[in-house]
Amino acid sequence: MQTQQIFLFFIGIVALAGLVAFFSGRSKAQRVRASGAEMYAQPDQYGWFTAISSAGPALLVGLAAVVAIATAGIDIEGMQLLIASLVVAAAGLVIGLALVKPDFHARNAIETLIRYVLIGAAMISIVTTFGILVSIIFEAIRFFQMESFWTFITGTTWDPGNSFQMAAGRGEGVESTANFGAVPLFAGTFMITLIAMLVAIPIGLLAAVYMAEFAPERVRTVAKPVLEVLAGIPTVVYGFFAAITVAPLVVDIFSPLGIEASYNNALAPGLVMGIMIIPFISSLSDDVITSVPDTMRQGSLALGMTHGETIRNVILPAALPGIVSASLLAMSRALGETMIVVMAAGMRPNLTANPLEDMTTVTVRIVAALTGDQEFASAETLSAFALGLVLFVVTLLLNMVSVVLIRRFREKYSANNL
């Protein structure tokens, strides 16, 4: 029996077991209630409990079989798996029906199970984050065993040189010419991110103020989804726009002024990236501004302030932690962008303060180091993990600060504290 057929049969058994168990449990609960006994839960809740008791263990059997095959290499026949699932489902059905009685709290059991499922989902996210961090750390350590950490974070030249040949064993008697100074990469990353934030924060914040304080309901219901559509456009489309339209436009604007600008410049991707992250700032800031208690608005107006003064002196200061948090989240998004930069700014590590020159970012170099016919043990390939580790730490710190600011905002302006 093919794997696809086994999977379909297994899903069918689990679904059928759950369906039969639900109707059986509900039917028994209805009969018990009809006999005059006082039940602690509704018949449907007993039905759901019976369905979970039957289908849940059968599903766990399938997951355990998958783990055993993938990790231990155990050979499990498809028919054996189906029979075991059917037996476990039948046993769960019997146990579930046996518990359908007046003194059993089916609702509490279901709520407890749901709570554990939610805890498990949260733990998966946490474990995944730590797994990503650990996997990056081990490879980054291998890189720092080859190259100095101090040179990596302070060096101003990024040139892999002959590191590939050295790792492949073809560099005997040849001195290594590799330089892995990451300063140009991080300078380019923060330069383009700064340009993007200078575009996104004013426009996004003003759009949020308009949506929250001035826009009629009809305009708000139409304009806000349209603005948020920008967040759903693929970044490669933004990259085409930056490379084909914005970059030549930048050159055409500065050339008559006698200022030389490269077609691969940092200004173009920064501007386009700023447009891309406007929805992040506007949407989150809009939610924060609208969550400011209305009593603060009414109190300000009652004291004689105008609507504009209320926004400037009351609402924006109250919403400031949330606005800063939205900006930090948008900055994290900009730091990790790759396609726009590689298509419009180029791939040359260039330490410069001139946004009209070409430069590259950390993420672009990570992609370049991990693509193509590369020796994995080479310093050039392993440098991607070192760059990824630093970028991971930076974005993680920004996200943590954002979460702390949002929490302080909620604690300060929650309805219970007014």
Q: How confident is the model at residue 416 (pLDDT cuts 50, 70, 90)?
A: very low
311 and 408 fall within a common domain: yes
Residue type, 329: L
In CATH, what number is assigned to the domain containing residue 395?
Answer: 1.10.3720.10
Question: Has residue 140 been placed in a domain?
Answer: no
Instruction: Give the mean pLDDT of 193-221.
Output: 90
Question: Has residue 151 been placed in a domain?
Answer: no
Instruction: Give the mean pLDDT of 102-116.
Output: 87
Q: How confident is the model at residue 417 (pLDDT cuts 50, 70, 90)?
A: very low
Sequence-distant (6+) residues with CB within 8 A of 24 are 47, 50, 93, 97
Domain limit, last residue, from 61, 85, 104: 104
Is the pLDDT at 418 greater than 50? The verdict is: no
- Residues 249-294 have pLDDT tens digits of 999 999 888 888 888 888 999 999 999 999 889 988 988 898 888 8
Instruction: Give the mean pLDDT of 26-37.
Output: 85
Question: Has residue 301 been placed in a domain?
Answer: yes
311 and 403 fall within a common domain: yes
Helix 267-290 to helix 316-335 angle, to the nearest 10 degrees?
Answer: 140
Q: How far apart are CA 270 and CA 193, in angstroms?
A: 6
Question: Has residue 90 been placed in a domain?
Answer: yes
**To which residue do tokens 């001139």 refer?**
354
190 and 293 fall within a common domain: yes
Question: Has residue 117 been placed in a domain?
Answer: no
- Most confident option among 84-98, 121-135, 193-207, 403-417: 193-207
Instruction: Give the mean pLDDT of 235-248.
Output: 90
185 and 91 fall within a common domain: no
Q: How confident is the model at residue 162 (pLDDT cuts 50, 70, 90)?
A: low
Look at the chain and report how many structural domains it folds into.
2
What is the average pLDDT value for the chain, to the nearest integer? 83
Question: Has residue 162 been placed in a domain?
Answer: no
226 and 367 fall within a common domain: yes
Q: Given this model, what pLDDT does residue 410 score?
A: 66
Question: Has residue 134 been placed in a domain?
Answer: no
Q: Is 264 helix (H, G, I), strand (E, B) or coil?
A: coil
Q: How confident is the model at residue 172 (pLDDT cuts 50, 70, 90)?
A: low
- Most confident option among 186-190, 219-223, 338-342: 186-190
Domain containing 294 equals 179-417
Q: How far apart are CA 3 and CA 373, in angstroms?
A: 34
List the end-to-end C-alpha distance of the chain, in Å, as a whole number. Answer: 66
86 and 214 fall within a common domain: no
Q: Given this model, what pLDDT does residue 272 score?
A: 92
Question: Has residue 193 been placed in a domain?
Answer: yes
99 and 208 fall within a common domain: no
Q: How far apart are CA 15 and CA 6, in angstroms?
A: 14
Domain limit, last residue, from 104, 133, 160: 104
**DSSP label at 71?**
I
68 and 207 fall within a common domain: no
89 and 185 fall within a common domain: no
Domain limit, last residue, from 87, 104, 121: 104
Question: If residue 342 lies in a helix (H) or strand (E), which one and from where to where?
Answer: helix 339-344
199 and 84 fall within a common domain: no
Contact 21, 100 (CB under 8 A): no
95 and 211 fall within a common domain: no
Instruction: Give the mean pLDDT of 171-195.
Output: 79
Paired tokens of 276: 């891309």
Q: How far apart are CA 44 and CA 111, in angstroms?
A: 14
100 and 187 fall within a common domain: no
